[in-house]
Amino acid sequence: EVQLVETGGGLVQPGRSLKLSCVASGFTFNNYWMSWTRQAPGKGLEWVASITNSGGSTYYPDSVKGRFTISRDNAQNTLYLQMNSLRSEDTATYYCTRDLAQNWGQGVMVTVSS
């Protein structure tokens, strides 16, 4: 059974940093692209970042480019999202996903507020 477990969320002040982790199991992690998608409270879904299976290439929308960094450790079956210069509009539940949308974690809440 595929499992994706996110950790690292919480309350952070604007301008500060936070790093999310996602531990994967139930599939061969290094065979798949991985992504992060977020959902602001009561809103729809927004893609945040993707990384190739080797980790050699990464992709971001303009809304987070230059502030967020996706990375992975294939030896540890773990995906990361480093979030810098956080803004109030980054407040959301962040989901780790296999590929773009094949499997989803339970999500982790990030709240950016002073």
Partner 1 sequence: DVVLTQTPPTLSATIGQSVSISCRSSQSLLHSNGNTYLHWLLQRPGQSPQLLIYLVSRLESGVPNRFSGSGSGTDFTLKISGVEAEDLGVYYCVQGTHAPNTFGAGTKLELK
Which residues of this chain interact with partner 1, rule CB under 8 A? 35, 44-47, 50, 59-62, 95, 100-107
Nearest Cα neighbor of 96 from 5, 17, 2, 1 is: 5
**Nearest-approach distance from CB 52 to partner 1, in angstroms:** 13
In Å, the largest CA–CA distance within the chain is: 40
Q: Which is nearer to partner 1, 14 or 42 (CB)?
A: 42
Cα 109 from Cα 114, distance rounded (Å) = 16
Distance set, CA 105 to CA 5, 43, 57, 90, 97 (Å): 6, 18, 22, 19, 6
Q: Which is nearer to partner 1, 11 or 45 (CB)?
A: 45
**Nearest-approach distance from CB 16 to partner 1, in angstroms:** 25
Cα 33 from Cα 54, distance rounded (Å) = 8
Q: Which is nearer to partner 1, 14 or 57 (CB)?
A: 57
Cα 53 from Cα 102, distance rounded (Å) = 15
**Nearest-approach distance from CB 95 to partner 1, in angstroms:** 6
Q: Which is nearer to partner 1, 4 or 83 (CB)?
A: 4
**Nearest-approach distance from CB 11 to partner 1, in angstroms:** 21
